[in-house]
Amino acid sequence: MRRLYWALILVGVLAVGVFAGLVIAKRLREDRWAMPDGDDMVRLRDVFRPAAPRPPRVIYLHRGALEVARGDGGSSQNQSAIVGSAKARYPLRGFTGKDAAWKELTSCVRKLFSPFDVEVTTERPRADGYVLVAFASKASDIGITQRRVGGLAPYDSAGGVVPDPVVFAFSGTLGNRTRVICETIGMEVAHVYGLDHAYLCSDVMTYLPACGARSFRDRDARCGEKRARDCSYGAPTQNSYQRLLSVLGPARAAAAPR
């Protein structure tokens, strides 16, 4: 009798183990296995995208209030595939800092991207195909409750370009610190150009504790968040500066003054 009892317990434990294993395998296969916390990239696997979309050449910082909706309409429609699905629309307050902070922020983002052929603007472009940077206080403002992150962007883990994305900066979570918001925008925007996280504390793409002001470094570094790993697109290292240069090209010489 006692043996039967133990045998039943053993069978039960085995069954639970096999079931858990199957669930994990299924989630891994379907790429639903989210990192527990802090992952600011939403991997796009099931979204249709042209094979080699042209990289967006304008980064538009939208200061005011904005309503974003879940959808495939892209930046010009204020639609994003990465906002939550609980509500049809998410009204956002926009950037809540003063004029001086806004000025500081825009010039900081411009400086980060100044080596590359891309324009940072505060006027909404007329033509489609730009990066819309939207400001909210925290991730839950766009219906993301399972992550505590400073920003959020769509990311093609194969290292491709997302053609007309909306990326988010969560100023409240970032303590409304201009430099931190600026570097977060740098990271989120670079994700849509196919950059992974860099295991290099001085790089904009890093999750490591700060070691001074960050920029896109011209240095081969391992990818990774809390530990080094290969990059999601298969390379052993990433050079953030060179990778952005290969996607966007170098900044064109400033136009002659008129």
Question: Please, which residue, 40 or 164, has the CB nearer to Zn ion?
Answer: 40
Question: Please, which residue, 125 or 184, has the CB nearer to Zn ion?
Answer: 184
Angle, to 10 degrees, between the axis of helix 99-113 and the axis of helix 178-192?
A: 40
- In three-state secondary structure terms, 193 is coil
CA distance 21 to 9: 18
Min CB(11)–Zn ion separation in Å: 45
Chain positions 24 to 53 lying near Zn ion, rule: CB under 5 A, are 40
Considering only 92-100, 104-112, 181-189, 215-223, which stretch makes contact with Zn ion by CB under 5 A?
181-189
Count other Cβ atoms within 10 Å, centred on residue 194.
23
Min CB(33)–Zn ion separation in Å: 17
Q: Both tokens of residue 27?
A: 């989630």
Chain positions 119 to 148 lying near Zn ion, rule: CB under 5 A, are none
Question: Please, which residue, 75 or 240, has the CB nearer to Zn ion?
Answer: 240
Question: Please, which residue, 166 or 187, has the CB nearer to Zn ion?
Answer: 187
User: Beta strands 221-224 and 89-92: pairing type?
Assistant: unpaired
Min CB(6)–Zn ion separation in Å: 49
Min CB(42)–Zn ion separation in Å: 10
Q: Both tokens of residue 249?
A: 């090209």
Q: Both tokens of residue 242?
A: 């060179």
Min CB(181)–Zn ion separation in Å: 14
Considering only 7-15, 59-67, 93-101, 186-194, which stretch makes contact with Zn ion by CB under 5 A?
186-194
Question: Residue 196, interface with Zn ion (CB under 5 A)?
Answer: no
When CB distances to Zn ion are compared, the closest residue is 40
Of 161, 187, 189, 192, the residue at the interface with Zn ion (CB under 5 A) is 187
- Please spell the DSSP secondary structure of 146-187, one letter per residue: S---SEEEEE-TTS---SS-EEEEETTTTTT-HHHHHHHHHH
Residues 99-118: x where in contact with Zn ion by CB under 5 A, - otherwise, as a string = --------------------
- Please spell the DSSP secondary structure of 84-107, one letter per residue: -SSSSEEEE----S-HHHHHHHHH
Asked if 181 contacts 63 with a C-beta cutoff of 8 angstroms, the reply is no
Considering only 26-34, 132-140, 187-195, 210-218, which stretch makes contact with Zn ion by CB under 5 A?
187-195
Length of the chain: 258
Binding site for Zn ion (CB under 5 A): 40, 187
